[in-house]
Structure 1
Amino acid sequence: MRKLALSDEILMKIEKPARYIGGEFNAIVKDHNEVDTTFAFVFPDVYEVGMSHLGIQILYDLLNRRDDVCCERVYSPWIDLDKIMREQNIPLFSLETQTPVKNFDFLAITLQYEMCYTNILQVLDLSGIPLLSKDRTEDDPIVIGGGPCTYNPEPIADFFDIFYIGEGETEYYHLIDLYQQNKKNGGTKKEFLEMVAEIPCMYVPAFYDIEYNEDGTIKEMKPNNSHAKKTVRKSIVLDFDSVPYPDKPLVPFIKVVQDRCVLEIQRGCIRECRFCQAGSVYKPLREKSLETLKKLAIDMLKATGNEEISLSSLSTSDYSKIKELIDFLIEECKSRHINISLPSLRIDAFSLDVMSKVQDVKKSSITFAPEAGTQRMRNVINKGLTEEDIINGCTQAFSAGWNKVKLYFMLGQPTETNDDVDGIMDLCEKIAEVYYETVPKEQRKGKCQITASSSFFVPKPFTPFQWAPMCEAHTFLDKAKRVNDKLKTLLNKKSIRYNWHESDISVLEGLLARGDRRLSKLILSVYEKGGIYDAWSECFKKELWDGAIAENNIDVDFYVTRARNDDEIFPWDFIDTGVTKKFLLREWHNAQNEKVTPNCRMQCSGCGAASFGGGICYEN
């Protein structure tokens, strides 16, 4: 029987001890003495969130397919255990073998959300690894970061030895081969990093220097090591159908955020939403074949016993074989009494017909993401959705038996006016009117229930809106208050509920999303003051950030509310995602002129993604 890193006494004191014991069904346990290279793969958030992340499952499966590699999982300890570990000097450990993280060759950290940055330092600190990469020795693990936040790694550059830019399936084996080769030859960590720096998608921050202009903008970023490249090019999977995929996913002991099998049907997107970073950096679109997906679905359901399967994609409706796949899943899942989750469907007759087949209409809600309340604003963001589309979709949904609608909006987007803000509730009122005008009283399942939620716009790298100024926290709240006040004037106000996000966290997200290397000292300062789990409202302490910002003389407006010049050098400009800066700038100007750009299947816009090849790109 495995010896746990935590005593029974400690486990009895903390919330959800199953977070820390490992031993889940389909977990892979290897003897460290029988492998050449060990990975501790970290999700810097609580277990329930991390276990719901598909990327970790994919890379966990990929690395453990090699007999000479052992990959184990690590999640951030919740605040109750964090306190005990510090008091009793208990080092952070892996789940599979309860091995201290410091004993692994690699510490790989997935970077999904900017507000988890202080948790990166928590993981390093509890592991006994120096927080700054420059302070680490030959005995410390190589710290490598991957995931969407690496498309601007600069605010956390001081904490990492390597950033892997792009999709993890392509170069990890190459990285491991170089590590084993260097180790066999008795090479140093620096020599290994020099070898890594020559891989097109690998970025070693220590090998670059930044020079700034007098106004604080970047003048130049240049390599200081002959092995480093001026441009780091993202890696992508070209043959998406044959790439390894976990057919035996891990099954948690406790309920997690998304407790289901996840079937990734495609990667990338043909849409051109100007606020969406994922739609840009994951281009071009790549699909798995129908036969591959059928086999994976059956294998995963057999291997897990899950009662639900979900299709993963940025835009599920755009999968070319979606009808055939759903027909298969409906037939297969019916006999197994398994639910089907279909996120990211567009609002059309086909999608509603499908959802009526797989959902319990009496209990479920239908979800739309108009993102803006007026057509003018939807044209600015290039949503590709008209008010007619929305109203028709709701009409069909109500006719099919739904009476609950969820609507997602963003406040503070570029060029937004008060009329656009008011348009959110105008649209909600129109949808409520549709219900009461088109559904006979005797057929209604209670009153119409519309839940409108608004997040606050955060400009992200590699989007046309990377040039846009962001609102201040009080401006966001003023906009949300205006929406809420408008709700109170509506005839159908009792059928509508409105929620909005926290503005302070949104502003900090914007600061970290577009920040540069000078922000590493800010993040370190916040952590040293006790800041962790900033993504959790119950743990977020604004005063820690305010104090650290003041002490480090950080000009928040410089990073957040300032409009960028067309020719400004961004901290992330050294990364090549395939989508050119020229294209993004053209789209920024199109947004300001309210000009709509067709999706990739309708017309190629020449974004540059075709340079990668292998995907479904419609460039002429």
Structure 2
Amino acid sequence: MWTKIEKNLINIRKPGRYIDGEWNSIHKTGADNLVRVCLAFPEIYEIGMANLGLLILYQIINQRTDALAERVYNPGIDFAQYLRSENIRLFSLESRTPLNNFDIVGFTLQSELVVTNVLSMLSLGGIPLLASERQDKFPLVIAGGPVTINCEPVAEFFDAFVLGDGEEVIGEIIEVVKKHKSESTSRMDLLLAIARINGVYVPQFYQTREDKNGITVQPVVDDLATTITRRIAPLNRANYPLSPIVPYVQTTADRLTVEIARGCWRKCHFCQATSYYGPWRVRSEEDILFIISEGLKHSGFSEISLVSLSSSDYPGIESLLEKIQKIKPWPIKISLPSLRCDCFSVGLAGHLGDKPSGSLTFAPEAGTERLRQAIGKYLSDEQILETAILASRAGWRQLKLYFMVGLPTETAADIPAIVNLVKKIKKLTNLNLSVTISPFVPKPQTPFQWVAMENPETLKQKIDYLHKNISASVRAHSLESALLEGVIARGDRRLNPVIRRAWELGARFDHWDEYFDFRIWEKAFGELGIDWRDYLQPIPLEKNLAWDHLRFTDKEVLKKTLVSCWKENQLTARENISVKKSLAVFPIHKKIAVSDNPYLYYWRLRWSRQMPVRYLSHLEQIEAFRRMYRRSNWPLAYSGGYAPQPIISFGPAISVGYLSEAEYTDVALTRKMDISVLRRMLLSEIPDGFQLISLKPLARRFASLEKSINVGEYWMRDSGWPEVAEKISEGLAQSEIIIEKEKNGKIEKINVRPLIIDMKLSEPDMLKLILRFSPHQNVKPEKILARMFAENEEDLKPQLLICRRNLFIEFAGKLFQP
């Protein structure tokens, strides 16, 4: 199977998503005797690899001797079409096992808009979409994540849901599955055993009833809990991945992610994450520093992200940042992605080592103090303006602001207030402002779960008004996707067939603007006789809710908060109970010198690349090498400036899919090292697919490899070249061989004949091409072949295996190896 797929990856966008072999990925043998778990994320690899929860579960499961965990991500549109056309099952990364051969397939549901992606993955994996249709041979399909806060709209697709933290409950599920496998019990007995685990909801054993009092979900098995309460796990160092997977492909979180706290004590009334991730728990400073030290050592990352719902609320955050600076093994960037809009946060940002001319991001959410208090965002206009002024004075150049429209208790005055607030910031500072507008979506398990979502027409008018009147860059989230998010968020089991029908009609990647089509959903709702607007109406406080049986927080507390909000929203904002003073002194951002040692020592390394790394782009390969050299603990020299990088020179770019025996890197070190020591330090850190060919010292620093190397030798294998010798002779006899190349959206015609130094058939199926190139004139060998042999380039690529055997420096008519 894989041989067939590998041959066609060359025509797939970003093939590095599917190749496996990332540093620190885990491959276990003897899988037949283990409980096999496939952790599934219903988004593309670049987004899914940023999910910390999945990586924590990956670590926990693979620490066990009786289980294994592998991963699968939603394939891109092109790869999904290829798998379906070739009748190939969607498979895991690590062992390329089809999904239907696992014992458990566990999905992480981060958003309501990924549900059609789940159906795509189940279908591609050979698993029936409905839990009721799965027989004993099929895996358990389980889900966790924020969407489980109301999982009724997707209840029919899953065998079970895990509510809350998964660190402890996953072990209990594995024990049940292990017993089931050893005793060969029925699937129904397995599901009943799973349903008796605290925090696990098995929808098949619960039925819904709707009457004048609302929707009630009750168990149909006597000893099952009427209410399923979420699991809460301690932040245990032992569960944290100290050797994080290092992706080849650039992801949305291409850094070492360290969770410093979970939950949020502020409890904004609109925020569902507070209910899902709560209660507020902090990781000890000692554990954080240990995780960072080990994580950097085993990954080679150059950036750390300290994540929580409100990073600036971490107790002793200033001290933590200072200690991180002391233990870092090389220059690193530190980011705090969730900062409160106050002067203290600006001060923290100054500690992160960033050049202050970058950007800061804050979320005031509303334009008036009254409305901010009503939604639980206790932030005054004065605080916002002081924060912006301080940021400007500290040297920051850009400020990103997030607001919502359609909030509960919003009045006609609140929308122009957003415009006025932005105007004041522009008047008082020299900041470049970027404003993002989102429609408010009422979410279950929050105080606003009962309120209506404002009608689409009014929301559009407000968004259009802000677009027109804010004198800054304004971006608005899709209104129609927000409406669908609201429908599914407060939906019930009647939405299961709607979701399936929308998927059948072509709904995919619904939170991607380029793929989302609300007309598909309107058609699905219409065919099933459901008015989607019904789910966006206000809900009486006394009614039973479709998610009341799923306990993440106390419903009565939420109700009291909402009633209090309606009664008190006209009051002035109360004083924030945790207002922190701004830092008295801002650190001065200094450019880092190259090295204290004026003498640097240069080494040249030659590498080969095979599978799986031949499907990396040149930039992905560069980052893989940088991380490898950091992990090796070589005494690397770093560039100056605000974002230091190792002083490494790389050879000419190589195309995706090429093999190579001539990948060069020049590396600068700060001290003299023995070659045997360097080799020993490096060998254990080389990613799968790369092989060190040679390592030699340089007497001095030469011109960069990319600028000096100007000739490549390529060997190309095909099953057989048609009339090769004759066509080569004909082609080389010509003074011009014209090919067309697209550049900057225009078609450029290039005569490649002067670039060809030699071209000949070395073996019946092997063609040798020696080709000149430069930064301004670079042509891929397959383009030349397609032109000379009158073949279509796209048809030629899958059957062609290209290897870059050598690189040369052409000088005075002679070729020299670097």
CA contact (8 A) 2:350 2:356 kept: no
How many Å apart are 1:475 and its aligned residue?
Answer: 2.1
- Larger Cα-atom Rg: 2
Q: Deviations over 1:42-83 (max 9, x none)?
A: 000100000011111111111111011110000011100111
Q: 1:222 to 1:287 in 2, by over 3 A?
A: same
Residue 418 of structure 1 aligns with an amino acid whose one-letter code is: A
Partner residue in 1 for 2:318: 323
Say if 1:555 and 1:599 are closer, same or farther in 2 by CA, change over 3 A. farther
Query: Hey, what does 1:312 align to over in structure 2?
Result: 307
Residue in 1 that maps onto 2:374: 380
After the TM superposition, which residues 366-445 of structure 1 pair with which residues of structure 2 at under 5 Å, given as runs?
366-435=360-429
Match of 2:554?
A: 580
Partner amino acid, structure 2, of 1:580: D
The question of 1:260 aligning with 2:255 is answered yes
Distance 2:161 2:43 in 1: 19
**Does the CA-based 8 Å contact 1:408-1:452 persist in structure 2?**
yes
The corresponding residue for 2:463 is 480
How do 1:140-155 residues align onto structure 2 when only pairs under 5 Å count? Answer: 140-155=138-153
Match of 1:222 in 2: 218
Aligned to 1:19: 17
Deviation at 1:362, TM superposition (A): 4.8
Query: Is 1:519 aligned to residue 495 of structure 2?
Result: yes
Contact 1:111 1:150 in 2 (8 A): yes
Instruction: Give the paired residue count.
Output: 576
Alpha-carbon distance in structure 1 between the residues aligned to 2:396 and 2:454: 36
More helix by proportion, 1 or 2?
Answer: 1
**Among candidates 233, 239, 244, match of residue 239 of structure 2:** 244
1:490 is aligned to none
Partner of 1:459: 442
Q: CA deviation at 1:183?
A: 2.2
Q: Which residue is equivalent to 1:441?
A: none
CA deviation profile, 1:558-582 (whole Å, cap 9, x unmatched):
101x1110111111100122x3111
In structure 2, what residue type is equivalent to 1:228? L
Q: Is 2:228 the counterpart of 1:232?
A: yes
Shift of 1:384: 1.4
Residue in 2 that maps onto 1:49: 47
SS at match of 1:369: strand
Rounded Cα–Cα distance in structure 1 between residues aligned with 2:64 and 2:475: 47
Residue 347 (structure 2) pairs with residue 353 (structure 1): yes
Residues 23 and 450 (structure 1), Cα distance of their counterparts in 2 relative to 1, 3 Å cut: same
In the other structure, the counterpart of 2:542 is 567
Instruction: For 2:509 and 2:517, locate their aligned partners in 1 and report how far apart those are by CA, in whole Å.
Output: 9
Deviations 1:376-398 (A, max 9, x none): 11011010111111111111111
**SS of alignment partner, residue 464 of structure 1:** coil
Aligned partner of residue 177 in structure 1, secondary structure:
helix
Per-residue displacement from partner, 1:6-39 (whole Å, max 9, x unpaired)?
Answer: 5233201110001011110000001243642000
Paired residue type of 2:544: I
Could you tell me whether the CA contact under 8 Å between 1:165 and 1:234 is conserved in 2? Answer: yes
**2:198·2:228 contact (CA, 8 Å) conserved in 1?**
yes
Alignment of 1:537-552 (within 5 A): 537-552=513-528
Aligned to 1:130: 128
Change (3 A) 1:303 1:96: same
Name the counterpart of 1:468. 451
Q: Alpha-carbon deviations, 1:385-442, whole Å to 9, x = none?
A: 111111111111111111211111111111212210111111000111111xxxxxxx
Aligned residue type for 2:197: I
Matched residues in 2 for 1:154 and 1:404: separation? 42
TM-score by length of 2: 0.69
Q: Which residue of 1 aligns with 2:744?
A: none
Residue equivalent to 2:478: 502
Cα distance between partner residues in 2 of 1:174 and 1:168? 10
Distance change >3 Å, CA 201–CA 601, structure 1 → 2: farther
1:41–1:72 Cα contact (<8 Å) kept: yes
Q: Is the 8 A contact 2:365 2:404 kept in 1?
A: yes
Measured after TM superposition, the shift of residue 477 of structure 1 is: 1.3
410-419 or 137-146: bigger deviation: 410-419
* Structure 1 residue identity aligned to 2:419: M
AA at the equivalent of 1:96: E
Q: Which moved more, 1:384-393 or 1:183-192?
A: 183-192
Residue by residue, what CA displacement relative to the aligned partner does 1:563-604 show, whole Å, maximum 9, x if unpaired? Answer: 110111111100122x311110111112222166888879xx
Which residue is 2:682 aligned to?
A: none
Using the alignment, how far apart are the partners of 2:30 and 2:261 within structure 1?
35
SS at match of 2:413: helix
CA contact (8 A) 1:272 1:599 kept: no
Q: Is 1:340 matched with 2:334?
A: yes
Q: Pick from 91, 97, 100 the counterpart of residue 99 of structure 1.
A: 97
Matched position secondary structure for 1:407: strand
Taking a change above 3 Å as real, the CA distance of residues 89 and 599 of structure 1, as seen in their structure-2 partners, is: farther
Distance, in Å, in 2 between the alignment partners of 1:219 and 1:431 is 47
Q: CA deviation at 1:5?
A: 6.5
Q: CA RMSD in A?
A: 1.7
Deviations 1:341-388 (A, max 9, x none): 112122344332231232434541121110001111101101011111
User: Closer, same or farther in 2 for the Cα pair 1:599/1:465, shift >3 Å?
Assistant: farther
Q: Which amino acid aligns with 1:223?
A: P
Task: Give the Å deviation of 1:227.
Answer: 3.9
* Counterpart-to-counterpart distance in 2, 1:36 and 1:597: 56
State the shift of 1:323 in Å.
1.5
Paired residues of 2:215 and 2:545 also in contact (CA < 8 A): no
Separation (CA, whole Å) in 2 of partners of 1:19 and 1:89? 20
| Letter in structure 2 aligned against 1:585 | K
> CA separation of 1:460/1:243 partners in 2, compared to 1, >3 Å: closer, same or farther?
farther
Amino acid at match of 2:264: C
Q: Aligned with 2:36: secondary structure?
A: strand
Q: Which amino acid aligns with 1:550?
A: G
The change in CA–CA distance for 1:599 and 1:194 in structure 2 (over 3 A counts) is: farther
Does the aligned pair in 1 maintain the 2:360–2:396 contact within 8 Å? yes
Match of 1:93, as an amino acid?
F
Write the distance in 2 (CA, Å) between the matches of 1:328 and 1:307.
17
**Residue matched to 1:610:** none
| Structure (1 or 2) with the greater strand fraction | 2
Percent pairwise identity? 38
**Structure 1: distance between partners of 2:346 and 2:367:** 22
CA 48–427 in structure 1, closer or farther in 2 if over 3 Å, else same: same
Which one scores higher on RCO, CA 8 angstroms, separation ≥ 6? 1
Q: Distance in 1 between matches of 2:114 and 2:19?
A: 23
Q: What amino acid does structure 2 have at the position aligned with 1:465?
A: F
Judge conservation of contact 1:511–1:556 (CA < 8 Å) in 2.
yes
* Residue 162 of structure 1: how far off its partner (Å): 0.5
The question of whether the paired residues in 2 share the 8 Å contact of 1:5 and 1:93 is answered with: no
Q: Do the aligned partners of 1:111 and 1:147 also contact (CA within 8 Å) in 2? A: yes
Q: Is the 8 A contact 1:201 1:234 kept in 2?
A: yes
Change (3 A) 1:498 1:62: same
Give the AA of the match of 2:228.
Answer: V
> TM-score, with normalisation over the residues of structure 1?
0.90
Unaligned regions of 5+ residues in structure 1, if any?
A: 436-446, 488-492, 603-620
Mapped to 2, the partners of 1:504 and 1:545 lie a distance apart of 10
- Report the 3-state secondary structure (helix = DSSP H, G, I; strand = E; otherwise coil) of the residue aligned with 1:7: helix
Gaps of 5+ in 2: 580-818
Residue 297 of structure 1: how far off its partner (Å): 0.4
CA distance in 2, matches of 1:33, 1:73: 15
